[in-house]
Chains A and B, each alone.
Chain A
Amino acid sequence: MPAWFTPATALCGLMFAISPFLIANAPYESTMGLVQKIFYVHLPSAWMFLIAAIVCGVASIRFLFRGDARHDRLAWAAAELVVLFGIVTLVTGPLWARKAWGVWWQWDVRLTASLIGWMVSVAYLLLRKYGGPGSDKLAAGLALFGMANVPFIYISVNYWRTIHPTTSVVPTLPTSFGLPLWFSTVMFLLLFVLLLRARVRLEEQRAELDELYLSVDG
């Protein structure tokens, strides 16, 4: 593991310890009250969900067209993080929605497209696990199509009628809300990078193991 990994982990842990205080001290939102505080984990998870999908897609393109296994390892790691942050987003969202909107779920564009994007990442993992030889390239092709979904998810709230807040909400947040949000986002981003690096390490070790097996057999 690289030199920055352990100090970064310590920093991330520290941020996790501090965050409850920042979140608790943030003011109550006028219409939604206490439940709005789910926002401070829901929004960063959603961003990590989209970022992971983009990382997976870009790494897949590079793997498809250059054939370097490093990109494939990164793509696989990123896909697992899409599933992880996707689950977190798709669970925290409805928990918030139940109170704020009165319903658990809406079949609007953003939620539907997000659910579909998440399913694509699950399909990616199934393919890697059960597809047999050659499934690395196939999964890369799938990830490409999945990544095309991402901008659609993001801008959909601005063009379709929906209860979900639009993208103009975050930039216009007052500082008292903005500070815990950005703190939380940086924390999630750091966590994302750490998890990605650890997962890539797993792939690297597996590759080393495979090579060793091959040299034994050969």
Chain B
Amino acid sequence: MSARELFSFRNPHTRTAVSVTAFVFLLSALIGFVLLPLAQPHLQLAGLWDAICSAAGVPRGVASTAAPPAEPTSKVVLTSATLAHPSQQSIGRGATLAQRCAICHGPTGISRADSPNLAGQYAAVIYKELADFRSGARVNAVMTPFATNLTDQEIADLAAYYAYLPRLPAFHPEPPRAPGTIVVYGAPSRGIAPCGSCHGSLDNKTGSPWLEGQSAVYLKAQLEAFASGQRRNDISAQMRNIARAMTSAEIEEAAAYYASQPAEVVKAVE
């Protein structure tokens, strides 16, 4: 029983095995690549070769339909690689630029009013919001003029600087409250995931800010703005989907909870 005997076509068993295998493959290929595609006229295939290529999985472009005119939405592209490794020079330039931000956002990046605390915020978040203010995807009477003349590099530098700052307690720290069910569990039936699954305590989705210690007034205003559709810079409506499904009591509860949390619990992004 040598290998030559086994692999020879004079061996009837070998002949049978190879023929049956080949037959099954060819027959199923004929059905799968020719018969079935061509039997579906609604696919609008351009002939036999198109049918075979489509069935094989060769990527085909499809004529895209014209989209109706868009209201301005965010043009920022975010991935885990966005602003991943800021240089010291970038942080230094950002420090200089940030001097004009201190008037509202505080010299240490901790706000004394209801503007957001920026100290230690994820760089991708700061980058995105500044870029959105600049493009008009997000509109605010105070922020829009500040952002209008910033270049891409300046925005990146500011983001790097604020991300680098230590996370300090809020100006008016509140006693920590227990989280309500909306924060801990979300509401699956309404399509709401737990806040922490994006906002850092469970996992950070690039572009989602951590919320601990932010002003309750600010958080509530943003959630309401998302819920009403007034704020539209969340990419593909992902926050509008959430906020719209929340009740006003839940919005208050979530805002109050996060405002009461110490910022130091936030885990850093690598």
Q: Do A and B come from one complex?
A: no
Interface residues of chain A, those whose CB is within 8 Å of chain B, are none
Interface residues of chain B, those whose CB is within 8 Å of chain A, are none
